[in-house]
Amino acid sequence: MIKQSVVLILLLCASLLLTGCWDRREVEELGIVHGIAIESAGNNRIRVVFQYINTSIQGGGGGGGSGENTITFQKPYRNQVIEADSVYDAVKQLPQETVARRFFAHTEVLIVSEEFARERGITEISDYISRDPQFKPNIWLLVGRGKDMASLMDTPGVISPIPTLRVSNVLEHQDVVSSYAPLRLGEFIRTLECTSEQPFTAVLEATPNPSRPVEAGHGILDGQVPEPANRLAINGTALFKNDKMVGWLNQQESRGLLWLRNEVKQGIIKFSLPGVENGMAATEIYRTHTKVTPVLENGQIIVNVKIDAETVVQEVTRSFPMDDTEDIQKIEEAQNQAVIREVQSALDKAQKQMQVDPFGFGQAIHHKYPELWQQMRPDWDEVFPEIPVNLEVNTTIRLTNLTSRPIDFETEP
C-alpha cells in the first residue's frame, strides 16, 4: 500500500513538470492587435483603425516557363476600420469570422487624431482601455497629425515594415535624441488626475520619405520591395489643458520641455562657433541635471532653474582652436546659449502662448510651499503665465575628441 502511494506521488510530481499551458492559444488563431488609431467619424461617432500583426505570412518563389524565379511579398500587418459609438462598441463589432480571438495584450501604440484630441479629448477613449484588463497601462499614447488615421496606419517602413511596431521601437529609444516628449497612457491619466501640472505626449505624422528613389518603381531587391513614398516620423510634442489638446511644440521646444523636466538623457546640441563665419559645432550630451527651485520673495513666487550638462565635441565645421582653457570656455558659452534658447522657446510657447504647465512648476511649488499652493491652486491657470523664471545654464565640455582643431587647408605650409 505504501509502495503504491509512493508511486502515485512520484507520478503526480512528474506530471507537474511536464511542459504546456492549459490556456495556450495557437498564434495562427489570434488576432494580435499591435496598434489602434482613433478619429472622429461625424454625428458624434468615432472611426477606429485596428492594426493586426499578420501571423500567417507565406512567402515563396515560383518558376514560369522561362525558368525565372519570382518573389511574392505579403504585408506583415493588416488594418481593420470600424465605425462605432465608442471604443468599446468598436471592439464588440470586430467580425468574428475575421478575428476569431482578438488579443490586445500586445497592443503597444494608441494614436488619437489631432482633431479628436482638440475637440473631444482623451478621457472618452482612455476610460474603456484603462478598464479592460487585456490592455496594458504602458501603451504609448500619441497624437496623429492629419485627418486620415487609416492612411497614417498604412505607412510602412522598409527595415521595420509594420507601422505601429516601428513607432513603438522608436519611442523605446527616444532618450537617444531627446527631441520629443512621449507619455504612456497610464502616465497621461495620472497626470490628468494631478492638479499641479498638465499632460503632454508626442506627435506622429507621415512625412515625405527622403530616401525614396527618384525613378518610380525602384527600391531595394531590384524593385521587389520599393521604398514607400512617405514615412512615419515623431515630430514634436502635443500640449494639453486637462484632457484636450491646445497646441504643440516643435523639436527645439520639445527639448526645452525635457530640459525643464530633468528628462534630457542624450542628444546633440548644435550651435554657431563664436567669431567664425559659417562655423558650426555639434556636441553630444552624456550627462545632465536640472534643478527647479521655487522661491517666495516679497510675496511673489519666482522659479529658479539651474541646468548642468556635460558634453563631448563630435563635429566642428571650421577651424577653431581648442588648445587652451579660454578656447574651450568660448565654445561652452556658445553651448550654454543654445540650451537657453531651447528652454526659453518652450517657456514662451507653453507659459505665455498656451498658458499650460507641462513643466511641473506647480508640483514644485506644492512640495515646497504646500499651504501657499492651496491658495494658488484655484487660480493656477491665471497665476502660472505671470510667474518669472530665471535660467542658469552651465555646460562643460569633457572631451574634444582626438584633434585640437579641424584641418585648415588655407594655412600656408
Q: What is the reported pLDDT for 280?
A: 92
Residue 1 lies in a domain: no
Which residue range forms the structural domain that includes residue 375?
261-413
Residue 13 lies in a domain: no
Q: Would residue 90 be called left, alpha or beta, if left means φ above 0 and alpha means ψ between -120 and 50 degrees?
A: alpha
Residue that is last in its domain, among 249, 277, 306 = 249
- Same domain for 364 and 227: no
- Cell numbers 526645452: residue: 256
Rounded to a whole number of angstroms, the CA Rg of the chain reads 27
The answer, yes or no, to whether residue 22 has pLDDT greater than 70, is: no
- Same domain for 294 and 220: no
Percent of the chain topping pLDDT 90? 64
**What's the pLDDT band for 63 if we cut at 50, 70, 90?**
very low
Contacts of range 271-274, beta carbons closer than 8 Å, 24 or more positions apart = 271/334, 271/335, 271/337, 271/338, 272/334, 273/316, 273/317, 273/318, 273/320, 273/331, 273/334, 274/330, 274/331, 274/333, 274/334
Residue 31 lies in a domain: yes
- Same domain for 359 and 222: no
- Same domain for 292 and 218: no
- Reported as a single tens digit per residue, the pLDDT across 82-108 is 999 999 999 999 875 455 567 899 999
Phi then psi for residue 392, to 5 deg, are -130, 120
**What's the pLDDT band for 316 if we cut at 50, 70, 90?**
confident
Compare 74 and 335 and report the one with higher pLDDT.
Answer: 335
- Same domain for 410 and 276: yes
Q: What is the reported pLDDT for 18?
A: 47
**What's the pLDDT band for 6 if we cut at 50, 70, 90?**
very low
Q: What is the reported pLDDT for 149?
A: 96
Residue 10 lies in a domain: no
Contacts of 78 (CB under 8 A, 6+ apart): 51, 52, 54
DSSP secondary structure, 149-214, as one string: HHHHTT---SSS-SHHHHHHHHHHTGGGT--S--EEHHHHHHHHT-TTS--EEEEEEEEE-TTS-S
- Same domain for 278 and 235: no
What's the Cα-to-Cα distance from 392 to each of 102, 329, 337, 350, rounded to whole Å?
52, 16, 10, 19
Residue 32 lies in a domain: yes
- Same domain for 227 and 117: yes
Residue range 176-201: average pLDDT? 94
Q: What is the reported pLDDT for 122?
A: 97
- Reported as a single tens digit per residue, the pLDDT across 300-309 is 999 999 999 9
- Cell numbers 482612455: residue: 126
- Reported as a single tens digit per residue, the pLDDT across 236-259 is 999 999 999 999 999 999 999 999
- Same domain for 276 and 239: no
Specify the pTM.
Answer: 0.85
Residue 237 lies in a domain: yes
- Reported as a single tens digit per residue, the pLDDT across 329-361 is 999 999 999 999 999 999 999 999 999 999 999
CATH number of the domain that 400 lies in?
A: 3.30.300.210
- Candidate from 232-241, 265-274, 332-341, 396-405 with smallest mean pLDDT: 396-405
- Same domain for 413 and 311: yes
Q: What is the reported pLDDT for 347?
A: 98
CA angle 247, 189, 126 (to 5 degrees): 90
- Same domain for 277 and 244: no
- Same domain for 146 and 205: yes
Residue 188 lies in a domain: yes
- Range among 145-154, 208-217, 311-320 with highest mean pLDDT value: 145-154
Residue that is last in its domain, among 216, 249, 282 = 249
Number of structural domains in the chain: 2
- Same domain for 275 and 148: no
